[in-house]
Amino acid sequence: MEYKRFEDKVVMVTGASGGIGKVICEKFGQEGAILVITDISAEALKKTATSLKEKGFDVHSFIMDVTKEEEVSRVIQKVLKNLERIDVLVNNAGVSTMNWFWELTEQEWDFNMNVNAKGVWLVTKHVVPHMIKRRKGKIVNIASMAAKIGAPFLAHYSASKFAVVGFTQAAAKELAPYGINVNAVCPGFVKTPMQDREVVWEAQLRGVDDPEEIRKEYVKQTPLGRLCYPDDVAKVVLFLASEDANFLTGQAINVTGGICMH
């Protein structure tokens, strides 16, 4: 009989309908997890839930805006009432915009900070008391290569992702006595719909005619010679959520093909 690392484990993933989020859900589903998927977009969430259910996975979906505490609290209480536990939390919800930092609006800054940093804190805040009671749990936060290396046109995004790594380290220390592991993953240039938007934005900001030239530059910057794929990220997320990573906490693991080595 095939061993499944997450058989009957309740795994909650935020931003589950996006490129990386959906693949993370699929990987957990393949390994027997009970999936709790959340997203701010009802339409995208429904589509993802249907797709996952068609694969035979046990899926529970909730519309949730990670920036609204009342909503976050309500959804997590529902999950705990219905499923009694959350074994693994993956904070994946994230957004990006691009601009010269001196041309950023306060709205752009707040949008990135609220979803990428505050959202991670809020969801973790409401899941953790339950994990503390059980004295076990795994939390994986999706940061970015931009959390290690400040990225041009992404000052606000970089700041929000640096915050995720700082929060991960602090939370790991606070939760270690309860047997809860908190780690982050820092993906590089990931081929997703978000990247499709970003290459267009970057091309416009730099005066480059063809956005695909930007993507070629990303590949050139990557020692392993290709873009990162959601699958590459998901495999590391599952490792960090598994028993194999029991002695890892407070880490920010790069999945960048060698671009970032610290």
In whole angstroms, give the CA distance from residue 204 to residue 192.
Answer: 19
Which residue is listed with tokens 């270690």? 176
Task: Identify the H or E element spanning 140.
Answer: strand 137-142
In whole angstroms, give the CA distance from residue 229 to residue 22.
Answer: 12
In whole angstroms, give the CA distance from residue 197 to residue 153.
Answer: 13
Residue 153: exposure state from Cβ atoms within 10 A (0-12, 13-18, ≥19): buried
DSSP conformation letters of 152-163: TT-HHHHHHHHH
C-beta atoms surrounding 206 within 10 Å: 12
Candidate list 3, 157, 178, 218, residue with the active-site label: 157
C-beta atoms surrounding 177 within 10 Å: 9
Which residue is listed with tokens 């994986």? 140
In whole angstroms, give the CA distance from residue 117 to residue 9.
Answer: 26
Longest dimension (CA), the chain: 58
The question of whether 157 is a catalytic residue gets the answer yes
Whether 188 contacts 145, CB under 8 Å: yes
* Residues marked as catalytic: 157
